[in-house]
């Protein structure tokens, strides 16, 4: 990945910037500022590809801090019920390399890019391992078993089991291979508003009014 990045920089920028980029920005782990940044995000973009290299991009939303950094090399996040999560999981089973993009679009316009190798862990498997003290083996961390307990994920699990909330079906464990923070001057800054709840499985007429994109408005074939 570093060689590809340097080739791109060599083609489109000066040699000095090629050399300085990895030294100033890229790391092979998550330093404390990166972990703090992730803990304050409600959203992450996920990039995966299958064994043939066919790429897929998707977005994940959850409670504040739903993406957890267990240590400087390990990220854990839940996959909720839904077809989109299955597409990512299928790709990871074929090709473990993933890219994650965390964006702060409310204050500073920062981006945190994280690359790594991922694996899929079913919900029951992880919860059982937390109960019997073997989670460190599944999560592949150097930390001792006592650093993990069922209480570690309890708030997140409970937040996803309430009425009209999606259930956690599986978890994605990402072993970090590279990360860097980028201040993107073109990231628009937003202002948070009140969420209008729409029950799962239903479509509100006012939400899909004239001029707004809906699934039924799309052609059955593209091209």
Q: Is residue 167 one of the residues assigned to a domain?
A: yes
Residue 6 covered by a domain: no
What whole-number distance in Å separates Cα of residue 111 and Cα of residue 114?
Answer: 10
> Which residue(s) pair with 118 in the sheet?
174
> What percentage of the chain carries pLDDT values higher than 90?
35
Residue keyed to tokens 């080739």? 7
Q: What is the pTM of this model?
A: 0.73
Kindly provide the b/e burial profile for residues 180-197, where b requires at least 16 CB atoms within 10 angstroms of the residue's own CB: bbeeeeeeeeeeeeeeee
Q: Does residue 151 form part of some domain?
A: yes
d(Cα 168, Cα 166) in Å, to the nearest integer?
Answer: 7
44 found inside a domain? yes
Distance between CA atoms of residues 4 and 207, nearest Å: 43
CATH of the domain at 95: 2.30.110.10
Give the model's confidence band at 182: pLDDT under 50 very low, under 70 low, under 90 confident, else very high.
Answer: confident
Which residue is associated with the tokens 């064994």?
51
**Could you report the per-residue pLDDT of 89-109, keeping only the tens digit for each?**
999 999 999 999 999 876 766
> How many domains are contained in the chain?
1
Residue 4 in this model has a pLDDT that exceeds 80 = no
CA–CA separation, 9 vs 21, rounded Å?
9
- Asked if the structure places residue 13 within a domain, the reply is no
- Domain encompassing residue 50: 27-186
pLDDT, tens only, 132-176: 878 888 888 865 545 555 566 666 566 555 545 667 889 999 999
């Amino acid at each position: 990945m570093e060689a590809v990045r340097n080739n791109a920089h060599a083609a489109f920028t000066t040699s000095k910037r090629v050399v300085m980029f990895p030294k100033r920005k890229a790391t092979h782990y998550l330093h404390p500022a990166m972990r703090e940044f992730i803990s304050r995000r409600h959203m992450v973009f996920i990039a995966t590809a299958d064994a043939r290299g066919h790429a897929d991009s998707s977005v994940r939303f959850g409670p504040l801090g739903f993406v957890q950094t267990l240590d400087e090399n390990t990220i854990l996040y839940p996959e909720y019920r839904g077809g989109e999560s299955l597409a990512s999981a299928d790709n990871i089973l074929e090709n473990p390399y993933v890219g994650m993009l965390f964006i702060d679009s409310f204050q500073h316009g920062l981006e945190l890019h994280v690359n790594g190798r991922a694996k899929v862990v079913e919900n029951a498997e992880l919860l059982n391992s937390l109960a019997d003290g073997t989670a460190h083996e599944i999560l592949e961390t150097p930390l001792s078993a006592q650093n993990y307990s069922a209480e570690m994920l309890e708030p997140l699990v409970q937040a996803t089991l309430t009425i009209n909330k999606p259930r956690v079906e599986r978890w994605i464990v990402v072993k970090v291979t590279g990360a860097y923070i980028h201040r993107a001057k073109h990231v628009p800054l937003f202002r948070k508003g009140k969420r209008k709840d729409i029950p799962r499985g239903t479509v509100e007429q006012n939400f899909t009014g004239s001029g707004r994109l809906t699934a039924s408005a799309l052609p059955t074939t593209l091209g």
